[in-house]
A and B are shown apart, each in its own frame.
Chain A
């Protein structure tokens, strides 16, 4: 064990220098050609394939796997990108065990689905390494579309719009494009600058201008965008973070952190040994963000990391695979505990008091009994919210932008997709599907049919 791990409080450099790179390397090393052939051989080429129906972007999975098995990886990549231009990222981050691989008939047959995600990565990696481009732009329509947000939803929309001959300007508030692909996804899922490489690959089709540091609600307004473009697509994700609603939250001082901010900082860090983390960490939440914050704290050298979730295991949003990953990295997951009070001394967090919970008549209630966990750092990972001033003037539903089946908001000429809409489900692949489909709707609107 390294000396740094024993430092109390929040501290950087907990590990030996070489350990960081090992801890944050690729979670699933890519399949080599032989492995890909062996795995592709397992696919039955199902009729009306269940895996394909379970994919939010409806990639023709049996076809692309067959193309891999006949040593036609570029054909496979084209099949993937036709439906999902961010197929490379999705291959890395999709919780496949809840999507395509859960539906794979080999899951039913022997509990071992075809490794669809890994095969998808095999094909898309080859195409992207060669920068093989499969799509060309239709003749210019003379129309321009503003896309706000350069995350998966915005990028997918922009690519499809450009394909149809429209000029696109993507506006994003952040200094880099990619959305949560760049600032959110766990670093061991997408190492080596993949998010930026993918942005370049997607925009290589041409006709897409990216304008960074442009914030809707700041310099940009919906009215202004509507004045300068023929249509607007909003893919702004969820900017805000839910409050804990625990005592002491406002006065906790150092050590009470939004998990997404911590992760963003981690993703942007070029020297992880300089990134501070607590010796004892508690993460409040039960989704992918909670898992990622906990696992990455552990990988940075935190000694003791506990996730506290207010309901049972079966209610956790994080997939079984994610939960196992956390457990394997040494994270403790506790259930039926909700935050009551953040404890602090001299402006520093010292622990958290939690209340046991139970279900009564289907409602979650506190049981009065409490538990105190000492902690130097407490992460809030209890869900993000729409930053509602950005959506000013648009109808909301359940706190997110209301859209119809085609992604149209309440205001004509404005579409939305991804995490920010009421139909979002906090998955990259869903954001891609919604961006793509909204683009088709915008195209129909712009071509007058």
Chain B
């Protein structure tokens, strides 16, 4: 039986599945239920400074996009940080931590960007005996207009400064939560590291408008006829989050910096992918908001079974294993040549591969054979682009087959070379380097 216990910057939890700071972690009632359901940890809904709490809109705060059968693919929200009294949150945090000593309880914080504010709140949180703090530099709406959240996260100098205060005025581990609303995610990560952060977590939500109401011409969600951009999350953002996690994981300047992976984690498989790309654990929000806390059971069992099947005894066995395979385009092997092949036994003859390739790719799939409906790849036209695989409704029906060295590529009429060769040395590259230079892997 695989061991899925997690140790993230010294914070221990029975599994790597944490609930992200958001409505599911808003109060003791939810968090207690989450722990009962089996979640390994939570990051408490972001606390603000002492005083009257923020107010939320009183109309709809969520928008969404859906896939087939109204499966929720992307969620957008304009909620702010906690709208409950600071003291009430602190009391509850303290009690919950006492009740659940084996679970991770991290407290998310967002206060104005000045030293006094941070200096004031840190001891209050420390007093709860929570396991650590997460700095919310990510919230892209509302709070950012007040100079907090992503307004801080977008300026690496501010990130570094605030992290430094936190390390200075508290003994708790600090996790810096990054905003994806920035062009190079490595910059704030480096800044956080320079400030002394123990870890980064990402991604927070992405600026978004999910829809426009075509009757009222209001963006959705509509508050009395008007809307504001919200934060986008859920399955749709996973590819963006994976890429950002991998960028930080393979950046020489942040090498080894622990990462808590967030964004679209919905199944055990998503979690395993984040871990493989260098995350030390994952945080989940939308999936829990869509299906409730029970989904963690599937995550735990799926991850353990997969680890058993692959012979990974603990999380460390595979964490970061995909990082070294993430590289720049220029280092991809141009001598790796694939051709699509359709498994005729699985093919249901919908013709989608044909029309996709015919209209938008390389005219490499025929539609008839002996006068009958039949779809087959023409090897002398196929560039191996994978579009047909992606549009085929039947899983594994179209396979990409790599040509062995020595075989003839029917399209280029060239023999496949056994050697690795990339763009940096390609004759068409005006800036090509001396072929002797090895790829930076």
Contact = CB atoms under 8 A, between A and B. Distances in A.
Interface of A: 37-38, 41-42, 44-50, 105-106, 108-109
B352 A108 contact: no
Given A46-B350, A47-B351, 9 more contacts: A47-B350, A48-B351, A49-B351, A50-B349, A50-B373, A105-B348, A105-B349, A106-B348, A109-B393
A46 B393 CA distance: 10
Contacts of A48: 351, 367, 373
Interface of B: 68-70, 348-352, 354-355, 367, 373, 393-394
Contacts of A50: 349, 373
B193 to A, nearest CB: 46
A250 B103 CA distance: 91
Contacts of B349: 50, 105, 108
A42 B69 CA distance: 9
Could you say which of B68, B349, B350 has the most chain A C-beta atoms within 10 Å of its C-beta?
B350
Contacts, number: 34
B343 to A, nearest CB: 13
Contacts of A45: 352
A35 to B, nearest CB: 11
Contacts of B70: 37
Contact of B352 (A37, A41, A42, A47): A47
Contacts of A42: 68
28 contacts: A37-B69, A37-B70, A38-B69, A41-B68, A42-B68, A44-B350, A44-B352, A44-B393, A45-B352, A46-B350, A46-B351, A46-B352, A47-B350, A47-B351, A47-B352, A47-B355, A47-B367, A48-B351, A48-B373, A50-B349, A50-B373, A105-B348, A105-B349, A105-B350, A106-B348, A108-B348, A108-B349, A109-B348
Contacts of B351: 46-49
B354 A47 contact: yes
Nearest to A109: B348
A243 to B, nearest CB: 43
A52 B49 CA distance: 64
Please name the 6 residue pairs, one residue from A and one from B, whose CB atoms are nearest each other, closest first.
Answer: A47-B351, A47-B355, A41-B68, A105-B348, A46-B350, A109-B348
A149 to B, nearest CB: 37
A42 B68 CA distance: 8
Contacts of B352: 44-47
Nearest to B358: A47
A46 B348 CA distance: 10
Nearest to B355: A47
A48 B352 CA distance: 9
A370 B350 CA distance: 51
A106 to B, nearest CB: 7
A51 B404 CA distance: 40
A108 B346 CA distance: 10
